[in-house]
Structure 1
Amino acid sequence: MDKQQTAHIISHTHWDREWYLPYERHHLRLIRLVDSLLDTLEQNPGFRSFFFDGQTIIIEDYLQVRPENRERLERHIREGRIYIGPWYILQDAFLTSPEANVRNLQIGHQDAGVYGEVSKIGYFPDTFGLTGQIPQLMVQAGITNAFFGRGVKPTGFNNTVSSDGYESSFSELVWEGPDGSKVLGILFANWYSNGNEIPAGAEEAKTFWERKLADARQYAATDQLLFMNGCDHQPLQTDLPEAIRTAEQLYPEISFVHSNFADYIKAVQHSLAGRSLSTVKGELRSQRTDGWGTLVNTASARVYLKQLNQRGQVLLEKVAEPLAVIAKLHGGEYPQHLLTYAWKTLLQNHPHDSICGCSVDEVHREMVTRFDKSRHTAEGIVADSMQAITSAVDTSGFATYGEAAIPLVVTNTSGWSRTGTVSVELDAARLYLREGHTLEENARRMKAVDLSGRVLVDEQGNEVPCTIQDLGLSFGYDLPDDRFRQPYSCRKVQLTFEAADVPALGLRAYAWVRPLAGAAGGRSGQGIAGSAAAGGAATNGAEPPAGAGASASLVHGGRILENETLRVEVMADGSFTLEHKPSGKVYRDLGVYENTGDIGNEYMYRQPAGEVPLTTRGLTADINIIEDAPYRASIEIVHEWEIPASADAVLEEEQRALVYYPERQAQRSTDKVLLKLRTVLRLERSGKGLEVKSYIHNTAKDHRLRMLFPADLAAASHRVDSMFELAERPNEPAPEWLNPSNAQHQQSFVDVAEEHAGLTVANLGLHEYEILRDSRNTIAVTLLRCVGEMGDWGWFPTPEAQCQGEHMAELLLIPHSGDAVASGAAAAAYQFQIPWTCAQAEVHTGTIPAVYSAVRWSGTAAAFSSLKMNEESGDLLLRWFNMTGQPCELKLETDLPATGFYTSNVLEAKVADIAAETGLLEQGGANALQLQLGGHEILTVGMRLD
């Protein structure tokens, strides 16, 4: 009898490392699972294979406890009975940075390659929606498919599905990214557990297969039916071979195969020959649903985790890696082993149930420790790199100021030239304890150090306005490589000033000096030969530089901040207007706080029915100028706001009864608590945006706090930063959307624009926003969301998710003329993510000039993403992506001794030699390259060095 259909049964377990149990509780179950798997593979040849959930960290976790089983495990992997990779962990793609997704893929491939063949399966079984550039990421990694469970089908409570409204006609589809990359998409239409616990007994098997076969046929485009034999933390079904034999006897017309993903894909592709599938384009965010099951509000659960993650990601990819490259180019080290360790530690916080903040409290406490461990490692790498860099910077031009000159180096590791306010701590004097003085004498000498009369100068000798804070007597120590620790007493100061025109991926040197006798005006002594001027700002108390206006102050009238581009006026209730002078556009009612109840859970926000949001509109604020310097000014706005203390008692009753959150009837309590809000608005002299810092003292529960920014712009859609993409999204949800809230994910910023004006709202780790349907296109950014339960399949109280205590949120408002890309607003938003790095230096000659850039590039539509080194080849890898859908030119120049350039994929494997395609030009001793960047293309360029 010819078989009419094939049932592909794939054994797996979806392994959340931590979720409704702490990590170690899940870890114990993993050990038992893998022990059972190894025994079964060796004792039962009929059990053909097992899929390790697409993540190699399972191997690390197992061998941490069972190192004696390494050989057994490796043997089954090499024999093709255990499939591993391609990821290190199964991440949430919306809440982790583009480069973190790339490192996850790179580390997964590297670790899997040690044991055997990497499974080329784009595996996203439980990811909470998928970003639009995943097809391009997969194609560049040599993966032609994507298996996923969410994004294009109606999903409700407990993963129930409806029978219509699909964006694809079948579970098989073509998924196309914005650049045109295509992969075969396989939707787990019946979830990744539709073949779980298959009965071996005939009677139970008959009932099981009648329902399961019908469900699979309902969505399948071919005669190849997929059955996933496993689920979350699912123990191994050791009698599967017997269950398959039972199924074969019951259904002789169907071929039941203990299969694997590679064989299943081949069979599907063969069956699809000559047929076409539905094409789904771009992001997969479940927009064609009622909006209650998208899990999007995990973007605002435990915001503190997202902020820690943003800091950790940026420190690694935008600071530590590029600084390590510069250090390596000038005699330092590129510590790939430490970078990998720091990345792995950080990535362990990126699984969807971890970074999404939707686990029990113990899980997220351990995450904070991991964030700290990764950050401490990255900070050590940065410190070592900065020591190598400062030792190589030529600061000899400052020698003319005498022995008291203290050089310092400001580095800009963003992809664009940068001007902004920096702060650096300097040791004005040191006295080592080894010199034998008493501690009292050390303290006396340090306190007696004269700090008067010093000024800050740039490499040309131009005095730079700065604020000097005496931090007093301090203790420090060196940790030399060749001897015991060296403690010292010191007199420490902090300098705050505007660093002007610091080159991209480069640095600029300054010095804190005593002026030369007779020096006057904006110059004092000799500059460093060959260095460009940094802008010639005036000294403290001197006349302001040309173009700075009649006064160096940015403050006017007590409630107004103003520079050449922006004017900010604060109203009595703490809201403010923002005028963008080049376009003439005035944005009003900005900075109002909104507060609502939240009777949902860590996964989804649910406002109490009928509740009217509270706002600070009309609430009198205490307003003060707290900073007035030539380079920056700040206004403080303080609110003391009474809001409901929590939800009422009905909420806990409904939680215990497992009432589905859209159906809850709880309201807010009539008891009140004081919500203390301190908002600081900061405007820099050369700033194109207004910095907003919100300090929140939270004593309330079961609520959400947002800040509102009405755009008042005529736009039906907006653009939002996502993974290697500025995604365009409609302001109005799809007709199927019933949820009153239309909150969505963002990475660095969201932008609303019309033809001649636009408003970009950038953030640090605030991943949830909403474009309100209020006729003003208000951008609402969630600052804090507080709930008391995990949610999902049971009642799991999470009191720490109420986020009591102190919080701080940071944003940058960038008004612009028209398009965010062409105006530079997008680039400014990306720069906002990246901290300045400064370090004290000494006076000496060096191989790095006082103004330096490792590479130079230009291309308006291109966004710079990373600079790192490949440890094996020593090649530099630089990555950009096109922020638009139109091709653009990218010009790259470098003075480095490059012997050639090539395009690379995201796994850092060479694709093509660029010189053979575009020609390598010699221009003024520098290598110059002209490249074409396709619409939405992710481009990685390799640079071979001598």
Structure 2
Amino acid sequence: MTNKIHVIAHTHWDYEWYFTSNESFIQLCYHVDEVIKALEENILDYYMLDGQMSIVEDYLEVNPEKKDRLMSLIQKGKLKVGPWYTQSDQMIIRGESLVRNLQLGIELGDSLGGADRLGYIPDAFGQSIDMPKIFSQMGIDKSVFWRGLSSDKMEQREFFWESEDGSRVVAYNIKDGYFVGVQLIESDDSESLINQIKKDTASSHIALPVGGDQRYVDINLKERIAGYNQNLTKDQLVESNYDNLFSEIKSEEQELPTIQGEFLNAEVSKIHRSIYSSRFDHKYLNDKVERRLIYQVEPLMAIADRIGIPYKKELVDKIWKLNLRNHAHDSAGSCNSDKTNQAILQRLIDADQLSYSVVDYLTRKISESRDEIKENQITVFNTLPVRRNQMIKLKVSLAHADFAIYHKGKKIAYEIISVEKHSNDPVRKKENPSPESYYFESEIVLPIELNAMGYEVLDIVEGEKGADSTQSVDENPFNHIENEYYRINCVDGQLNLYNKVSDTLYENFLFIEDSGDDGDNYDYSPPEKDRIICLDFSEGHVQYVKGELESSLKISGLFTIPVNQDERNQEEYNGEVPYECCITLRRGAEGVDFQLDMENKAFDHRMRLVVNGDVKADQSIADTPFGTISRPVIDPNLESWQESGWKEEPTGIYPMLNYVNLHDGQKSINAFSKGIKEYEIIGSSSKGIALTLFRAVGYLGKPDLLRRPGVASGNQFKYIETPDSQLQKKLKFKFSFMVGDTFSEAAAFTYYQNYAVSVPYYQHQSLNQFTTTLKYFVMQPLPETVPNSISLFDAAKVKDVVFSSFHKSRDGKGFVIRYFNPADKKIDDGGEVMCLKAIQFWGFTNMAETLNENETYQSETIQLGAFKPKEIKTIYIQFS
């Protein structure tokens, strides 16, 4: 059979790596010049600019005069750009972030002549189970990727990659890497190269990508193709692109096999299945920014838009783009040099400041523009489409220590956590503040039910007794905290949890595990001589802080561990890691909240929080961008990976976005996290969850690791020290745990959103000018007052599906709300969403937001209908 070899000229442009984006930007400016010249002068027929638009945007920022020439080449199909904004990681990045990435990339590409509709993923460390349905909903029906596919899942390179809802794309696996075709330029051994790329192909049309990391334009490509063709008898090389490749594969009318699932195996390429714990400080901050953008900024802007504050799409896009640049696979993984990680951290800080400033501004603007505004009123915002009936924390600044709180005319209970007395007199060196300048800043917790997707007002009456109780401190070591669901105590340094509902005692429920780490920024690897230390709280100072609404168990102390690997080898323990641990129970809450603050003072080690669940299960369930995935506790390839020549051990370490579950027929343990992205199921007959808190390592890449033999990852020729990755700093970890006897995917997502999405609020007062960053400065209220309360939706009748996002549509004319089925079973009826404001129409759309205007509805009740397994539904709404 004669094979047609499609030679595809491209570059893989790592946004940053051991170099910074600024350093590679200079080369980019000259590189794109060379690409334009090569295409205009027919030195090349086609060229692919790595499928990401951020580098095109950067180039045009300083070369605006080249825009028309660039557009001409894109319009002619000679230059392939998009559809991504950045080449995103898929394993620890939220689904809505992936959608915004593709939306922004496609819009920018289309504005320049047409974004390529190809799911191009040349180097990401694994492919998410949800990508086929994301691609399909963005109008993309084909995909090219390299890493993660193993022969036990699929032997041939061409196949249908399918999601559980039936969405699918035609996939092509470049299993020898996006750089394999460089041999065409550098080697005359045509037979060896052709045999290599023909292996495992079923089609007579075969891809030969010619390019590499930041590689120059191969101006002799035509000459090399001609030379190879002279030596080949059965095969022919042609300049081509992936559109042509897929078109010709389709024309063969072969029946391609179908596969579902994620691709996270390292048979043919490294996959770095423990990169999810590198630079926890980055992961934590990115998680915080993503959460705020999706669950607060976009809904708040939509609420504000409905009352006369225009939705600033360009502002939201600016913040998204800033954060999406941190989602490139190396950037998200943090497998970079220190100088690059410093730049990433600064972008994360910038995105954090911008996003919380949007929340601060809008909550204040709305609050100070209300109808009947009164001093000390608190405007409270619910940015989720369901009523929230839970405990919330507020800080209020008042002239009196005593005060009452009313909601809708009804006095509500609250509990005082702490009170601080401050003065608002101007600061002077020697003068004492005047007595009348003092005010009280009180932190309180209160139960409240808030209407969905809107805001409402709390009234404060000063001088009236209102608090039901003030939390008290008890240091009796034999005491405990409890609510309706749990009782928790600390006995001899061991945390014990009793589940009242199931009458089950979990002894030593939470503890810390410390071990050595001989790995690098890519991977954890145990040292040849390791010493695993189980740390309890026996040396800690224990306090039971008790209240009627909220109680906490607080422990502070020092974990004593080896300072470094030399001490670990010698069984010496001279390292001290200060910690503060707080475990909180709230009235009516089904979960246990846990916060651990530590200051790492040790090197080359890994610390994990172990949830000792005593569950008998051989599968774990973790959340994914738009659903869940079940993974084996022990990988079926674990015993044979070395003899099979895999690139790294198929360890039981896996990624998570926000939660992981372990359950059997009797017990279910859910662990929810704000920023932790890695877990492993440990134990033999009874199992628990190990959540990786952080890894402290000192090199970008190291060779010959126990879990990853062979050359170093990153740079094979030089040790690059990364002392910042030793994380010698204060670290904050936040979790919540839910213990029961059954598991529901949708209920777990709902619990997570209530736990992780805080309630924004603003107090109208003039005593304390620093409750928000810019409160010190005056603000102009809206010219027309706004209602004292508003609620856009009520999704109380939605069932078994998960809210994903609510924001203004990309065309600026309507709004979009999205739900998905997180389970792998069909839902006959997802329930209904009630629009509480008049609408013109609604209709189902997709992630690309293309709407069939002939299939719209005028009813203010949105019937979600049936959901296929793991299906995503997006609804377009135009309000009146």
TM surpasses 0.5: yes
Q: 2:556 aligns with which of 638, 649, 669?
A: 638
1:57 aligns with 2:54: yes
Q: How does 1:599-614 map to 2 (within 5 A)?
A: 599-614=518-533
Shift, 1:422, TM fit:
3.3
Question: Judging changes above 3 Å, is the alpha-carbon distance between structure 1 residues 503 and 579 closer, same or farther for their aligned structure 2 residues?
Answer: farther
1:584 aligns with 2:503: yes
Distance 1:763 1:38 in 2: 47
Q: Deviation per CA, 1:280-312, whole angstroms, max 9, x where unpaired?
A: 21111117x59x943021100000000010111
Contact 1:126 1:150 in 2 (8 A): yes
Q: How does 1:618-657 map to 2 (within 5 A)?
A: 619-625=538-544, 627-648=545-566
Question: Judging changes above 3 Å, is the alpha-carbon distance between structure 1 residues 76 and 172 closer, same or farther for their aligned structure 2 residues?
Answer: same
Partner of 2:481: 561
Contact 2:638 2:651 in 1 (8 A): no
Question: Judging changes above 3 Å, is the alpha-carbon distance between structure 1 residues 474 and 251 closer, same or farther for their aligned structure 2 residues?
Answer: farther
Q: Percent identity?
A: 22
Question: Judging changes above 3 Å, is the alpha-carbon distance between structure 1 residues 65 and 828 closer, same or farther for their aligned structure 2 residues?
Answer: same
Partner of 1:507: 455
Distance 2:514 2:477 in 1: 31
1:70 aligns with 2:74: no
Question: What amino acid does structure 2 have at the position aligned with 1:701?
Answer: F
Question: Judging changes above 3 Å, is the alpha-carbon distance between structure 1 residues 715 and 195 closer, same or farther for their aligned structure 2 residues?
Answer: same
Contact 1:422 1:498 in 2 (8 A): yes
Q: 1:114 aligns with which of 103, 111, 128?
A: 111
Question: Judging changes above 3 Å, is the alpha-carbon distance between structure 1 residues 39 and 64 closer, same or farther for their aligned structure 2 residues?
Answer: same
Q: 1:312 aligns with which of 268, 289, 293?
A: 289
Distance 1:181 1:895 in 2: 33
Contact 1:506 1:851 in 2 (8 A): yes
Partner of 1:862: 801
Contact 2:397 2:765 in 1 (8 A): no
Partner of 1:698: 600
Shift, 1:760, TM fit:
0.5
Partner of 1:184: 170
Contact 1:637 1:680 in 2 (8 A): yes
Q: 1:327 aligns with which of 304, 309, 330?
A: 304
1:905 aligns with 2:846: yes
Q: Deviation per CA, 1:629-665, whole angstroms, max 9, x where unpaired?
A: 332121212342221212249xxxxxxxxxxxxxxxx
Partner of 2:628: 726
Contact 2:392 2:448 in 1 (8 A): no
Shift, 1:214, TM fit:
0.4
Q: How does 1:492-891 map to 2 (within 5 A)?
A: 493-514=441-462, 539-540=467-468, 559-573=479-493, 575-617=494-536, 619-625=538-544, 627-648=545-566, 670=572, 672-736=574-638, 739=649, 741-791=651-701, 792=713, 793-794=715-716, 795-821=719-745, 824-841=747-764, 847-850=786-789, 852-888=791-827, 889=829, 890-891=831-832
Partner of 1:302: 279
Question: What amino acid does structure 2 have at the position aligned with 1:753?
Answer: H
Question: Judging changes above 3 Å, is the alpha-carbon distance between structure 1 residues 471 and 915 closer, same or farther for their aligned structure 2 residues?
Answer: farther
Partner of 2:646: none
Distance 2:789 2:509 in 1: 41
Question: Judging changes above 3 Å, is the alpha-carbon distance between structure 1 residues 930 and 258 closer, same or farther for their aligned structure 2 residues?
Answer: closer
Tell me the matched-pair count: 829
Partner of 2:769: none
1:343 aligns with 2:320: yes
Unaligned ranges ≥5, structure 1: 154-164, 400-404, 429-449, 477-488, 521-537, 543-550, 650-665
Q: 2:230 aligns with which of 249, 262, 280?
A: 249
Contact 1:630 1:685 in 2 (8 A): yes
Distance 1:852 1:710 in 2: 42
Question: What amino acid does structure 1 have at the position aligned with 2:101?
Answer: N
Shift, 1:471, TM fit:
4.9
Q: Deviation per CA, 1:769-801, whole angstroms, max 9, x where unpaired?
A: 001143221100011101111111332111111
Contact 2:793 2:834 in 1 (8 A): no
Q: Deviation per CA, 1:497-533, whole angstroms, max 9, x where unpaired?
A: 22422233233421221367xxx9xxxxxxxxxxxxx
Give the secondary structure class of the aligned counterpart of 1:691.
Answer: strand
Contact 1:427 1:493 in 2 (8 A): yes
Contact 1:751 1:820 in 2 (8 A): no
Distance 2:390 2:843 in 1: 34
Q: How does 1:460-479 map to 2 (within 5 A)?
A: 460-467=409-416, 469-474=419-424
Deviates more, 1:227-236 or 1:616-625: 616-625
Q: How well do the aligned residues superpose, as a CA RMSD in angstroms?
A: 2.8
Distance 1:470 1:553 in 2: 17
Question: Judging changes above 3 Å, is the alpha-carbon distance between structure 1 residues 541 and 385 closer, same or farther for their aligned structure 2 residues?
Answer: closer
Deviates more, 1:128-137 or 1:722-731: 722-731
Distance 1:893 1:192 in 2: 49
Q: 2:863 aligns with which of 923, 929, 940?
A: 929
Distance 1:853 1:496 in 2: 28
Distance 2:476 2:556 in 1: 20
1:409 aligns with 2:384: no
Q: How does 1:188-199 map to 2 (within 5 A)?
A: 188-196=174-182, 198-199=184-185
Question: Judging changes above 3 Å, is the alpha-carbon distance between structure 1 residues 22 and 928 closer, same or farther for their aligned structure 2 residues?
Answer: closer
Contact 2:139 2:848 in 1 (8 A): no
Partner of 2:773: none
Question: Judging changes above 3 Å, is the alpha-carbon distance between structure 1 residues 934 and 847 closer, same or farther for their aligned structure 2 residues?
Answer: farther
Give the secondary structure class of the aligned counterpart of 2:29.
Answer: helix
Shift, 1:826, TM fit:
3.3
Contact 1:421 1:496 in 2 (8 A): no
Contact 2:184 2:193 in 1 (8 A): no
Question: Judging changes above 3 Å, is the alpha-carbon distance between structure 1 residues 230 and 502 closer, same or farther for their aligned structure 2 residues?
Answer: same
Distance 1:415 1:789 in 2: 45
Distance 2:472 2:453 in 1: 30
Give the secondary structure class of the aligned counterpart of 1:674.
Answer: strand
Question: What amino acid does structure 2 have at the position aligned with 1:828?
Answer: Y
Distance 1:871 1:713 in 2: 46
Partner of 1:265: 246
Question: What amino acid does structure 2 have at the position aligned with 1:799?
Answer: P
Contact 1:554 1:633 in 2 (8 A): no
Question: What amino acid does structure 2 have at the position aligned with 1:504?
Answer: A
Give the secondary structure class of the aligned counterpart of 1:178.
Answer: coil
Give the secondary structure class of the aligned counterpart of 1:933.
Answer: coil
Shift, 1:817, TM fit:
3.5
Give the secondary structure class of the aligned counterpart of 1:378.
Answer: helix
Contact 2:565 2:604 in 1 (8 A): yes
Contact 2:337 2:721 in 1 (8 A): yes
Distance 2:700 2:443 in 1: 45
Contact 2:520 2:700 in 1 (8 A): yes
Contact 1:131 1:722 in 2 (8 A): yes
1:945 aligns with 2:869: no
Question: What amino acid does structure 2 have at the position aligned with 1:168?
Answer: M
Partner of 1:8: 6
Give the secondary structure class of the aligned counterpart of 1:932.
Answer: coil
Distance 1:353 1:682 in 2: 36
Question: What amino acid does structure 2 have at the position aligned with 1:901?
Answer: W
Distance 1:883 1:874 in 2: 29
Distance 2:127 2:753 in 1: 22
Distance 2:503 2:529 in 1: 39
Contact 2:469 2:547 in 1 (8 A): no
Unaligned ranges ≥5, structure 2: 427-436, 642-648, 702-712, 767-780
Shift, 1:856, TM fit:
2.7
1:454 aligns with 2:403: yes
Q: How does 1:205-224 map to 2 (within 5 A)?
A: 205=188, 207=189, 209-224=190-205
Question: What amino acid does structure 1 have at the position aligned with 2:553?
Answer: I
Question: What amino acid does structure 1 have at the position aligned with 2:541?
Answer: D
Give the secondary structure class of the aligned counterpart of 1:24.
Answer: helix
Contact 1:560 1:567 in 2 (8 A): yes
Shift, 1:394, TM fit:
5.6
Question: What amino acid does structure 1 have at the position aligned with 2:690?
Answer: A
Q: Deviation per CA, 1:707-726, whole angstroms, max 9, x where unpaired?
A: 10121123221211111011
Distance 1:669 1:213 in 2: 55
Question: Judging changes above 3 Å, is the alpha-carbon distance between structure 1 residues 941 and 555 closer, same or farther for their aligned structure 2 residues?
Answer: farther
